[in-house]
Amino acid sequence: MSNPPALLRHYVNGEFVTTPRTFGKLSPIDGRLLGRVCEADAELVDRAVAAARSAQEGAWAHYSASQRADVLLRIAEGIERRFDAFVAAEVADTGRPVHQARTLDIARGVQNFRTFAELIRQTGGEYYEMRTAEGEDVFSYTLRKPHGVVAIISPWNLPMLLLTWKVAPALACGNAVVVKPSEDTPSTATLLAEVMQAAGVPAGVFNLVHGFGPNSAGEFLTRHPGVDAITFTGESRTGATIMKAAAEGVREVSFELGGKNAAVVFADCDFEAAVAGVLRSSFTNTGQVCLCSERVYVERPIFERFVAALKAGAEGLKIGYPDEPDVKMGSLISHAHRDKVLGYFELARQEGATVVTGGDIPHFGDDRDQGAYVRPTIWTGLADDARCMREEVFGPVCHVAPFDRDDEVIARVNDSDYGLAAAIWTRDLKRAHQVSRRLRVGMVWVNTWFLRDLRTPFGGARLSGLGREGGRHSLDFYSEATTVCVNP
């Protein structure tokens, strides 16, 4: 794969800028240094917010919704023109299989801009009529206005997909943005800045600052008084910190946070489909998707058979270089994250888990031994209150437990600090609807996983998030309504 440029720069007010402090980006595939990234200081973040404010109130304010939609379509075309470069950058940063970066990450980046271009063209305001006691007919209507400057903080697990999921609706609504991608995945965001420049997005409408969270670009940005709204995807703990920063100035927040998601497999399921589905939901992207199932509950009559089939499936997942044919699992994002995942592997043993498969590092006998790999891992035998059953591991691991009754499994699924998603595998649709209604999560899949119409609301309950994005829910978050009451 080709490498990202040796020095990744910020993009502020339509220009690429460097700052003296830099940090290294290591390849999770083989541990070598991929390049260096400039780290923003408070002064640069200040400049980025000021540029965003001036662009939002200046050039960008003259664009109609339809003209902004045209800009979004030009951005989508710009990504498509450089599709291979985006794929290479995403793969180099994350170690994920090339086919996945092509079909999921970068393809969704394009789709996000197209979806919100279409949506903003079609979205009108509200209109109501009423008659007063005096018999006068008055009417009210709403205007949708941008917040102004939106800060977007994104994680490393699906970098391009998740960043554009927020940039597209924010721009569609007429905001200017300052984005801070994860320090672990700076490359596609930098390419996106190049696309913005080439697409003629007015200077200052899209700004990019690189850096870390605490005492770095992330904190400088979220605490900045010039930011009107903050949208964040990442860990629940980070969300809580950002919420405190947002409380100063009572700024709006939208949070997409962690999960400890369940898959529930009923004995009447299509067995092969359920095994294939749980393999996907537990191990896609090396388990680094907020929606992954780390808790799998299987109805007792098929429990043993299911565990055996899942084990065979997990052991058949090819771990390898991103461009190898049939590769299914890449590396974890970094050595630091691997240490965290290995810590949970150790903790699970201490908590009494039976390791059905995995639980260790694969040995390749080549430079991948310097990479950040682990084997897909299945546990059984943990108590529901074990830490490994309650905390998000965010790696290729699931625990499989038997259950006997619907009420029982619903209570066990709901007994979580998180509430993001669940998947149900059954042929009995009545049961599926009844269980869906009782699960305390933001998203339920029935006989599928990950599939989602981008117009539906997306988000989680409790530690999994605050608010919903997707379709008009995104437009609601990225705009303010003004109501106008008229006595004609």
**Residue 340 Cβ vs ligand NAD, minimum distance, rounded to whole Å:** 9
**Residue 136 Cβ vs ligand NAD, minimum distance, rounded to whole Å:** 48
| Beta pairing class for 479-486 and 137-146 | antiparallel
Cβ-based nearer residue to ligand NAD, 65 or 342: 342
90 and 163 in contact (C-beta within 8 Å)? no
**Residue 183 Cβ vs ligand NAD, minimum distance, rounded to whole Å:** 5
| Beta pairing class for 149-153 and 176-180 | parallel
Instruction: List all residues 6 or more positions away from 194 whose beta carbon is below 8 Å from its beta carbon.
Output: 82
**Positions marked catalytic:** 256, 290
C-alpha atoms less than 13 angstroms from C-alpha of 475 in its C-beta half-sphere: 23
Report the alpha-carbon distance of residue 282 to residue 295 in Å, rounded: 9
**Binding residues vs ligand NAD (CB under 6 A):** 153-157, 162, 180, 182-183, 212-214, 218-219, 222, 233-235, 238, 241-242, 256-259, 290, 392, 394, 420, 460, 464-465
Instruction: List all residues 6 or more positions away from 446 whose beta carbon is below 8 Å from its beta carbon.
Output: 423, 424, 426, 429, 432, 436
Cβ-based nearer residue to ligand NAD, 149 or 257: 257
Report the alpha-carbon distance of residue 56 to residue 149 in Å, rounded: 7
**By CB neighbour count within 10 A (0-12 exposed, 13-18 middle, 19+ buried), where does 13 fall?**
middle
Query: How many CB atoms are located within 10 Å of the residue 365 CB?
Result: 6
Length of the chain: 488
**Residue 321 Cβ vs ligand NAD, minimum distance, rounded to whole Å:** 24
Cβ-based nearer residue to ligand NAD, 37 or 71: 37
Which residue's Cβ has the minimum distance to ligand NAD? 213
Instruction: List all residues 6 or more positions away from 350 whose beta carbon is below 8 Å from its beta carbon.
Output: none
Cβ-based nearer residue to ligand NAD, 340 or 405: 340
Cβ-based nearer residue to ligand NAD, 22 or 241: 241
**Residue 468 Cβ vs ligand NAD, minimum distance, rounded to whole Å:** 11
